[in-house]
Amino acid sequence: MLKTACKQFGAALAAAALSLSGVSAQELVRPSAANPQVRQYDDPNLVYAGAPSRNAPLVVFMPGTSGRSETAPRLLLDTIASQGYRVVFLTYNDMPAVAQVCPSRPPACSARFRGSRAFGGDGPPVATPAPEAIANRLGDLLRYLQRTHPDAGWSEYLDAEGRPAWPRIILSGLSQGAGMAAFMAQRYPVSRVVLFSSPWDVTRPDQRPAPWLFAASATPPARWWAERHIRENTTRLIANAYDALRIPRDHILLFDGGLPPGKSPDDGNPYHVSTVQLRQYVPQWRTMFGAANQ
């Protein structure tokens, strides 16, 4: 009995060593481990390190409001990784949501909000210290992975100044995270953009798409992909935003499936989150991301 227990303990230690070495497929990394100046929103990033090629593009997926690694859409992330990508589920300052702060404010509010969260800023409407900004969190994480796994090729996603090499990166996300992906892809020429059910930044009272959605994009339209569920609460606003972003019509998928088990149409906006949860959407996810070797 003792001998068996010792063997099991040894196996567990070996598995842990593999995880820390970067050999295993997944690893959790707290933002404060990558940069000790991070004081808030320190939920771990989830890193899928294994890929058939060290030159595989990196998919960065950002969750919606209150998203955390423990509730990450694992089936979606597994599907993306199975197509040959490295994947990072990147946590960030995702509370409050843009939609909670900006609709009753001037039209430029949502751009200032997203700019602060993406790149840092003192506000208003929100303040984001530089180490907490999405772009800096990603750069810190990539440099941390390069330091801790020097032979794993993480430097492929950093430019000569040690910042994210955007042309090697696919930006994606759900809800508020998709809006962040869109905002950043307008400003940097990324490899691809994949949006799940967002953005829907609007101005009141006419609910027109926010001005930033009409801005010129550094990422060409052919690299943009998106979906919306036809029964989610904001589906028409999302459709208007996709038009403003000039996403090609044949790159916009309409999801129309049911709800996850135990969910009811009365549970807030359940079709919204279902788009990254249900197995029936795996073929559509594969289409949106494509294969890493394409």
Q: For 210-233, what is each residue's pLDDT tens digit?
A: 999 999 999 999 999 999 999 999
- Across the chain, mean pLDDT equals 90
Mean pLDDT of 139-160: 95
Q: How many residues does the chain have?
A: 294
Cβ neighbours of residue 17 under 8 Å, at least 6 residues apart?
Answer: none
Specify which residues 171 forms β-bridges with: 60, 193
pLDDT at 5 over 50: no
32: Cα within 13 Å, side-chain hemisphere: 6
Lowest-confidence region among 12-16, 49-53, 93-97, 115-119: 12-16
Tell me how far apart the alpha carbons of residues 51 and 36 are, in angstroms, rounded to a whole number.
Answer: 28
| Cβ neighbours of 70 (radius 10 Å) | 9
Q: For the whole model, what pTM was predicted?
A: 0.90
